[in-house]
Structure 1
C-alpha cells in the first residue's frame, strides 16, 4: 500500500495517510501524492466531496517528517500545498471532511483545520507543540488556530504547547462531532452523504464565496459578485433543482 492511499467510492474521494509507524508524519513523497490527490479531486466532476483520514489509532498526523525534510534540498509544501506551507496555497474546490484520531499536532493540526468539517474520535488530541520544544518556523498553524478558536484559547495553546482533548475541541467549535474511535469512519461517511444530498456545484460555489471573502468586512462580501455562483446559474443541476421542486420529488444531481 502507498503512504497515501487514494480511492473514489461513488462521488466521494478518500485520501488516507498511511504511515502509522511514524504517526503519519508526512514525507516529501507523501507531499507529492497529496498534491496529486487534491488536483484529481478538483478536476473530476464526478467527485463531489472528499474525506481525509489516517491509518492507525495513535495518530492522525504529527506534521512533516523532520528527518526527511532535513535531507531534502527543496522546501516541502506540507500536504501538497493545501496548508500553504512551503509554497503556493492549493485551494480545494470540493468540500473536505477530516476524520481525526489520536495525535493531531503541528502541521497535522493545520492540515485538519484546512477541512470544512472535522469529525474527531474521542482519542483525538489537538496541539501546537512548537514553542514548547523551542522552535517556530512556518506559522500557518497559528494563524488558522486563532481564526478557528476563541482568541484566548488559541493563544493558550500556542504559548504553552499543551494539547486540547476532543471534547474541549467540540465545546469550542473546532470540531463538528466527537465519536468513539471505532465509529470514526462511519461518522465521516455519514457527513459525506449529508453533503452530497445538496447540489455539488452549489456547494462548491458556496465554499468559494465563503472563503473568497472570509477576511473582508461584511459590507464588502455582501457587494461582491462571485463568478462561481454566476456560472452555476443555468447549469444542469440548477435546472434539475427547479424541476424537482416543481414536481415535488427529490433532485437527481449530476455535478454539472
Structure 2
C-alpha cells in the first residue's frame, strides 16, 4: 500500500494509512485550518476519490496540528467578497457538507471545531475527539446564521433543549460534554486520537463493505422519511446486499469457522 501523502490542493492532503482506510487532513494550521477556496476544491476532490476507489471503504477527516480541527470559513475570503468560492454546487460549504457519500467518514477532531468546523464534523458519520476539543456554532455572536447544516444536524444529534441553547447563545461545547450527550463517539488524549480514529475505521472495515454502505444509507434516511418509505429503502438495501458475492461469503466463513474474505463485489 502506498502510504505517501498526496496533496490534493494547497490545504488538503490524502493518505492511504491502512488497508481500505483513507486519511484526509485539512492542512492550513497557520489559519486554524479554516476553509478557503483551495480547501473547498480539495475536499470535494477527496470525496470523489474515496467514493470511486473500490479499495477504500472508510475515510477519516482531521485537521493539521493540535489547536484546531477547523475554524470554519476563512473570514478574509468573506471580507474580500469571495464567499461563493467556499461552496460548490454539488457539495455545499467546503465542497463537503452536502456532498452525497455512500462510504462512512469519521471526523477526528484534534482541537476546536467552530462554526463551519462543527458543521463539517456533523456532516461526517462518526466523531472522535481529543480531550481539549470543543464544538460550537457561534454565528449568532457575529450576526450570522449557521447555514451549512449545523442548525438541523445539531438539533437531530443531541437533546433539543440543549441544541437550542447552544445555537441561540453561540457558546462552546467541550468534548467530554459532547461525549456525554451522544454527539461524540469517543474522547481520548490528543496523543491517542489518531490511533482511536484508525482503530474505529478498521473495525468498520472488518465488515462487508457493501453491507456497511447500504446500512448507512438506511440509517441516514431515518430522519427524512416515514416508516413506509424507510421500509422501501430498507428493502432496496437488502436486495443490493443479497446480490453481492459477500452475501454468500459471510455465512460460508461462519460455517467454515474462519474470518470472512470480503471482496466488496
Partner of residue 218, structure 2:
209
Partner of residue 60, structure 1:
69
| Cα deviations by residue, 1:76-134 (Å, 9 ceiling, x for unpaired) | 4559955x448893111111111002211101001001111110100101011111122
| Contact 1:50–1:96 under 8 Å retained in 2 | yes
Q: What is the aligned counterpart of 2:197 among 180, 188, 193?
A: 188
SS of equivalent to 2:259: coil
After TM superposition, the structure 1 stretch with the greater mean CA deviation from structure 2, 187-196 or 8-17, is 8-17
Distance 1:54 1:139 in 2: 19
Alpha-carbon offset, residue 195 of structure 1? 0.5
Partner of residue 15, structure 2:
7
RMSD of aligned C-alpha atoms? 2.2
Q: What is the aligned counterpart of 1:36 among 25, 38, 45?
A: 45
Partner of residue 112, structure 1:
121
Listed as ranges, the matches of 1:1-256 within 5 Å are: 2-9=10-17, 10-71=19-80, 73=82, 75-76=84-85, 78=87, 82=91, 84-85=92-93, 89-136=98-145, 138=147, 140-256=149-265
Distance 1:43 1:77 in 2: 23
| Cα deviations by residue, 1:188-243 (Å, 9 ceiling, x for unpaired) | 00101110111111100111122234322334423545534322213122221121
Instruction: Identify if the C-alpha distance between structure 1 residues 174 and 225 changes in structure 2 by more than 3 Å, giving closer, same or farther.
Output: closer
| Cα deviations by residue, 1:57-80 (Å, 9 ceiling, x for unpaired) | 111001111212444657245599
| Contact 2:39–2:94 under 8 Å retained in 1 | no
Distance 2:85 2:230 in 1: 33
Q: How many residue pairs align between the two structures? A: 255
Instruction: Identify if the C-alpha distance between structure 1 residues 43 and 183 changes in structure 2 by more than 3 Å, giving closer, same or farther.
Output: same
Give TM-score, length-normalised by structure 2. 0.89
Distance 1:29 1:40 in 2: 16
After TM superposition, the structure 1 stretch with the greater mean CA deviation from structure 2, 205-214 or 33-42, is 205-214
SS of equivalent to 1:75: helix
SS of equivalent to 1:238: helix
Distance 1:232 1:175 in 2: 29
Distance 2:222 2:161 in 1: 24
Give TM-score, length-normalised by structure 1. 0.92
Structure 2, unpaired ranges of 5+: 1-6
